[in-house]
Amino acid sequence: MLLRHTPKEVKDRKALTINPAKTCQPIGAMYAALGIHGCLPHSHGSQGCCSYHRSTLTRHYKEPVMAGTSSFTEGASVFGGQSNLLQSFNNLFSIYDPDIVAVHTTCLSETIGDDVSQITQKAIDEGKIPAGKHVIYASTPSYVGSHVTGFSNMCASIAKYFPEKQDYELDQVNILPGWVEPSDMREIKRLMSEMHVPFVMFPDTSGVLDAPQTGFHQFYPKGGASVPDLKRSGASSFTFALGKFSSEAAGEELRKKCDVPYEVMEVPIGINATDRFLMKVSEVSGCPVPESINDERGRVVDIITDMQQYLHGKKVALFGDPDILIPLTEFLLAMDMKPVHIVSGTPGKYFMERMKEIMGDDFETGNVKNGPRADMFLLHQWIKNEPVDLIIGNTYGKYIARDENIPFVRMGFPILDRIGHSYFPVTGYAGAMRILDKMLGAIMDQMDREAPEEKFELVM
């Protein structure tokens, strides 16, 4: 009983978070920056932040994650980090030779008031940024928002910096995939190819954080959105900003800078959200959804048909990032399951509004919370009061799942103890199949494990 210290009685907490269902901005910014080819993220602050973010991303992806740090000392925190950042540019470009350095701040550099944009300008003015190289930056104070906010901020910076406005329109669309896995980005790209729709996707961590073993340690693996593609994105006819929390800001920047119209859509998880996404892509591009994709959809529906008796009425507790939870909840409801406890550490009113829309009456009877003190401790207390049949969330859910003996499906960030997330998508119809496979597997494995001998059956 690892969480034996969790009491059943829910008391209002005022000042603390126990077992957080979120983390801080810079790691999101680092992840987004890794989705640009030849980009080296740089953390402007103490060494620890950078080290933690690299470690966590490394554990999640089992891949080398590179990033520089300004290595703040006490001096830098008193006199400001300008000289550290200038020296960093020197060293980063001369040693690691990135095409792009993506600087993000930390709570420390934000609080002492370092103006990264001014410092960067100074570096450019002083010729410290080699010709043809780029520096982008995002303000990512750790005490605002969450890791999702940091991801969004870095995406917005990418959208602000690279796309070039043109007076012509290219026959292509932009896809801002939101904070999803390399596998999901790969899947969305596959769907687009299947539909013959030309596109630019950024960030794109496929090929970066799921790189093959080559016998070399490549500082800049071959994946990631390229600079020419990013530049061209300014001439696209439309932008799909997937996930309001992670992609809306970038969509808006692209519109402001290059007049590319955009629509915020949900990350295509489950049948409804995928339907909506593909229909919209079809509408914008004029390319019909091909038979092959319709067949995939049909297979998902077929699985649900075959298995509905095991899905009906199953109570689910879920936690994670809002852009994932929203379509996932909708998918669970579509399968006649009952999402009863939902927690997201990421703040933002829209989450509750949208959940209310999706859940209808279930919203009132269920427990839904995001923002301050929406943490795993609370989720555990809710589960103690109203047990569930399944938990879906990142690795940290394993404590609750074990203590309460509840089947558990890993989905979200971070997943530190399993593989699969970077290779198999949860988006699109293929992703819906994988979610079904994982959920049914978890639920039925437990039934098999715990069924009394006389009720143990070959066929389920």
Partner 1 sequence: MEAAILKDRENQIFIKEQSQGEIACEKSSLAGSVSQRACVFCGSRVVLYPVADALHIVHGPIGCASFTWDIRGSLSSGPELHRLSFSTDLREMDVIQGGEKKLERAITELGELHKPSAVFVYATCIAGIIGDDIAAVCKRTAEKLGVPVLPVHSEGFKGTKKDGYKAACDALAKIVGTGDISGIPKVSINILGEFNLAGEAWMIEDYYRRMGVEVVSVMTGDGRIGKISKAHGVSLNVVQCSGSLTYLAEHMEEKYGIPYIRVSYFGIEDQSRALYDVADFFSFNPELRTKAEEIVREEISVIMPRIQYYREKLAGKKAAVYVGGAFKAFSLIKALRLIDMSVVIAGSQTGNKNDYKQLEELCDPGTVILDDSNPLELSRFVLEKKADLFIGGVKERPIAYKLGIGFCDHNHERKIALAGYEGMINFYKEVYSSVMSPVWKFAPRNNRRKSHE
Q: Which of residues 56-95 bind partner 1 (CB under 8 A)?
A: 56, 58-59, 61-74, 76-77, 83-85, 87-92, 94-95
Instruction: Provide the angle, in degrees to the nearest 10, between the axes of the packed helices 270-285 and 291-311.
Output: 160
Rule CB under 8 A: say whether 285 interacts with partner 1.
Answer: no
What ranges make up the beta strands (E) of 275-381? Answer: 315-319, 338-344, 367-370
Residues 246, 112: Cα–Cα separation, whole Å: 27
CB of 427 to partner 1, least distance (A): 25
| Minimum CB–partner distance for residue 148 and partner 1 (Å) | 12
Interface residue with partner 1 among 31, 34, 37, 53 (CB under 8 A) is 53
Q: Tell me whether residue 3 or residue 170 sits nearer to partner 1 (CB atom).
A: 3
Q: Which two tokens stand for residue 275?
A: 């339907």
Binding partner 1 by CB under 8 A: which of 29, 39, 107, 159?
Answer: 107
Q: Which of 8, 10, 79, 97 binds partner 1 (CB under 8 A)?
A: 97
Contact 29, 145 (CB under 8 A): no
* 339 is a site residue for partner 1 (CB under 8 A): no
Q: Does 96 bind partner 1 (CB under 8 A)?
A: yes
Among residues 105, 106, 157, 247, which is the contact residue for partner 1, using CB under 8 A? 106
The CA distance from 325 to 338, in Å, is: 14
211: contact with partner 1 by CB under 8 A? yes
Cβ-count burial of 240 within 10 angstroms (0-12 exposed, 13-18 middle, 19+ buried)? buried
Q: How many CB atoms lie within 10 A of CB 273?
A: 23
Q: Is 45 in the site for partner 1 (CB under 8 A)?
A: yes
Tell me the C-alpha distance between 59 and 323, whole Å: 22
Positions 346 through 405 that interact with partner 1 (CB under 8 A): 372-373, 377, 396, 399
What pairing do the DSSP bridges indicate for beta strands 262-265 and 238-242?
A: parallel
The correct pick among 80, 99, 112, 161 for binding partner 1 (CB under 8 A) is: 112
Total residues binding partner 1 (CB under 8 A): 90
The torsion angles phi and psi of 210, rounded to 5 degrees, stand at -140, 40
Q: At its nearest, how many Å lie between partner 1 and the CB of residue 346?
A: 11
* Whether 200 contacts 229, CB under 8 Å: yes
Least distance CB 86 / partner 1 (angstroms): 8
Is there binding between residue 443 and partner 1 (CB under 8 A)?
no
| Partner residues linked to 390 by β-bridges | 316
Mask: binding to partner 1, 396-435, rule CB under 8 A, as x and -? x--x------------------------------------
Among 33, 36, 37, 42, contact with partner 1 (rule: CB under 8 A): 42
Looking only at the bridges linking them, the beta strands covering 199-201 and 173-176 are: parallel
> Looking at beta carbons only, is 233 or 381 nearer to partner 1?
381
> Which candidate, 58, 4, 8, places its Cα nearest to that of 31?
58
Shorter beta-carbon distance to partner 1: residue 90 or 193: 90
Instruction: Pick between residue 123 and residue 359 the one whose CB is nearest to partner 1.
Output: 123
Which two three-digit tokens encode residue 439? 């959920």
3 is a contact residue toward partner 1 (CB under 8 A): yes
> Rounded CA gap, 422 and 209, in Å?
8
Question: What residues from 212 to 251 belong to the interface with partner 1 (CB under 8 A)?
Answer: 213-220
Q: Which is nearer to partner 1, 240 or 396 (CB)?
A: 396
Per rule CB under 8 A, is residue 5 in the interface with partner 1?
Answer: yes
Quick one: tokens of 402?
């074990």
Contact positions with partner 1 (CB under 8 A) in 138-197: 141-144, 146
The region of 20-28, 130-138, 272-280, 304-312 touching partner 1 under the rule CB under 8 A is 20-28
Residue closer to partner 1 (CB basis): 46 or 239: 46
Selected from 7, 228, 387, 441, the binder of partner 1 by CB under 8 A is: 7
Nearer of residues 234 and 345 to partner 1, judged by Cβ: 345
CB of 217 or CB of 455, closer to partner 1: 217
Binding status of residue 320 toward partner 1 by CB under 8 A: no
CA dist., res. 140 & res. 28, Å (int): 9
The set of long-range contacts for 257-262, using a CB threshold of 8 Å and a minimum separation of 24, is 257/159, 257/160, 257/163, 257/165, 258/163, 258/164, 258/165, 258/166, 258/233, 258/234, 259/165, 260/163, 260/174, 260/233, 260/234, 260/235, 260/236, 261/237, 262/174, 262/238
Q: Which stretch binds partner 1 (CB under 8 A): 211-219, 262-270, 289-297, 449-457?
A: 211-219
